[in-house]
Amino acid sequence: MNQFPAVAIGGPPHSGKSVLTYGLTQRLRAQCIDHYVLRACPDGEGDWSQEAPPETVRLIRNKSPFSRSFVEGICRDLNRRHLPLLVDVGGRPTPEQEAIFDHCTHAILIAPEATASTELPIWRDLAIRHGLAVLAELRSALTGQEQIQAHKPVLQARVVGLERHRPVGGPVVDALATRLAALFHYEESELRLAHLSQSPLEMTVEVDRLAQDMGLGPLPHTWQPEELPAVLEYLPQGESLALYGRGPAWLYAAVAIHVAPASLFQFDPRLGWVQPSTVRLQVNPAAHQPLRWQVVETADHICLELRLVDAYVDYSEARELALPSIPADRGLVISGRLPYWLLTGVVTAYRGQPWLATYRPQLDDQAVVVASRLPARPVGSLIQMPTPGR
C-alpha cells in the first residue's frame, strides 16, 4: 500500500469543492508542505480557474465526461503517487467511478447548506464503504457567518464564500489546513532526499533552491516571467539536467529549450522521474493521436492551440507524437492545458522558431516568451493575445 495519504474532496455539484481545494493547497504551499493536487474529474479546473480572469475561465473551461480510460488512469496515478495528495473528485460518481476512492485514504466532504442534510449522509456512506477516514463534513453557503460545531473526531462546520475569484479564507479553511498539514507532515529532507536519490542524472536542479541560490527572496518563491533571463544565464546551456520541484509551466518550458538537445528529466508527483515526450514535426501529421491541434495565424505570429482528446493522457501513450510544421520565419505561441512532460516535449520540438512563447491564462491573457533569437522579443517578455475560443 502507498505510504502517502490521499485525501478525496467530495460532494455534490456546486458545493465549492474546487475552490476549497485551491484555498487548502495555497495554505499548504505557504507552509512549504510538500503535496500535489490531483484533479480526478475531467473538467480541467486547475489553479488557473481561480487565478485567471472570469471571462477567460468561461471560454477555456472544458466540461468533459468521465470515461473508462480516465478513471483507470487516475487510479494508476493514485496507486503510484510520490507525494501526499489532495484529490478533487467529481460530484456524481457512478459505481465504476467509485474505484477512485479505493485508492484514497481520507475524505473531506462538503455539500451546499440547503441539501447538506440529505447529501452528506450519502457521501459519508460512500467514504465508509471504501474505508476512508473522514476528516471533515462541511456545509457551504455564499453568505453569513462561519461556524465550527465540532473539531474532533470530525471537523463539522459551516463554511462561507467558496466562490471563484474571491479570497479563500476564514476559520474553517484555516482549521482544515492545520489538520492537513499535520497529516501531510514528512521531514522535508527525508522526502526531498528520497526523490533526489532516484534522479537519473548527477546534475539535479531544485526549483525552490534555485530561487534561493539566485537571491530571489524567501521561500516559497512565486516565479515571475522577468526572472527567466537570469535563470537561463545561471544554468549551463546544452547540458543534461534533472528538474525537481514546483514551478510554472513556462519556467519548465524555458529550461527544456535551454538544455536541448541534451537530456532533460523532470519529477512528476504521479510518475516519478520522466523525460519529455518525443515530438516530430511533419507537414501532415496523422490525426489519430491523443492530441488535437488548431493552427491560427495572426499578423505577428502563429498560435498553436493544443487539446487532449481525452481528459486523461497516459505517459506511455504519448511518448511519441507528431505535430504540424510551422513556417521557419514565424514566431509561435503554444496554448493548451498539458502535462509538463508533454509541454516540454512540444516546446523542444519547436525550438527552431525565431521566438517561442507559452500561453498562461493567469497572466491576463498573455503568453510568456520562453526562447528567442530576436531582440524585439526577449525571453521573459509578455505577448498580449486573444483568449482561445473568441
CATH of the domain at 133: 3.40.50.300
| Neighbouring C-beta atoms of residue 150, cutoff 10 Å | 11
pLDDT for the residue numbered 386:
62
> 102 and 219: one domain?
no
pLDDT for the residue numbered 364:
67
> 112 and 241: one domain?
no
pLDDT over 50 (residue 30)? yes
Rounded to whole angstroms, the Cα distance separating 51 from 54 reads 9
Which is more confidently placed, 299 or 237? 237
Rounded to whole angstroms, the Cα distance separating 49 from 61 reads 8
> 146 and 238: one domain?
no
Q: Which of 152, 168, 183 is the last residue of a domain?
A: 183
Q: Which of 183, 212, 229 is the last residue of a domain?
A: 183
> Could you give the percent of the chain with pLDDT greater than 90?
60
Give the strands of the sheet with 382-384, arranged side by side: 291-297, 301-308, 331-335, 355-360, 366-372, 382-384
User: Contact, 348 vs 262, CB < 8 A?
Assistant: no
Reduced to 3 states (helix: H, G, I; strand: E, B; else coil), residue 383 is strand
pLDDT for the residue numbered 269:
87
Q: Which of 166, 183, 200 is the last residue of a domain?
A: 183
What is the average pLDDT across 142-151? 93
Which is more confidently placed, 387 or 54? 387
For 216-248, b/e burial (b = at least 16 CB within 10 A) is beeeebebebebbeebbeebeeeeebbbbbbbb
Average pLDDT score over the chain: 87
> 90 and 212: one domain?
no
> Could you give the percent of the chain with pLDDT greater than 70?
90
Please report which confidence band the pLDDT of residue 389 belongs to, taking 50, 70 and 90 as the band edges. very low
> 175 and 193: one domain?
no
Q: Give the pTM.
A: 0.77
> 274 and 194: one domain?
yes
Nearest to 15, CA basis, from 108, 106, 91: 91
Residue 1 counted as domain residue:
no
pLDDT for the residue numbered 50:
40
State the residue range of the domain holding 245: 189-384
Look at the chain and report how many structural domains it folds into: 2
Which is more confidently placed, 270 or 106? 106
> 179 and 314: one domain?
no
Roughly how many angstroms between the first and final C-alpha of the chain, as a whole number?
Answer: 47
> 236 and 343: one domain?
yes
